[in-house]
Amino acid sequence: MKIARSHKVGKELAIFAGACQSYYEEIIKSGANFASSPGRILIDFKEPLVVASIIANTNDNKFITIRDIEDKLKNGSKGISGIGVQGKRKQ
């Protein structure tokens, strides 16, 4: 992920990484915007898709945090969390 961020386009990437019971802190430290399972729980397979969909459909002038999307996730911020990302939809 750090390599992806080192390229010019990397600054615009929205990186979601991890799987059930993955090491959330290291994934975020490595450069992901969002990662799964900070609560070390099993997540619903659809939750990363929900996050990706929200990022893709949010205007590029809005910064999205977990607070903006946690109510749309089955396990809230225990299942997925992160540092946030700029929306990707161009106006």
Question: How does DSSP assign 27-80, residue by residue?
Answer: HHHTT-SEEE-TT-----TTHHHHHHHHHHTSBTTSEE-HHHHGGGSTTHHHHE
Percent of the chain with pLDDT over 90: 66
The sign of the torsion formed by the CA atoms of 85, 31, 51, 36 equals negative
Residues 48-81: tens digit of each pLDDT: 999 999 999 999 999 999 999 999 999 999 999 9
What tokens appear for 59 in the block?
């205007």
Tell me how far apart the terminal alpha carbons of the chain are, to the nearest angstrom: 28
User: pLDDT category, 11, cuts 50, 70, 90?
Assistant: low
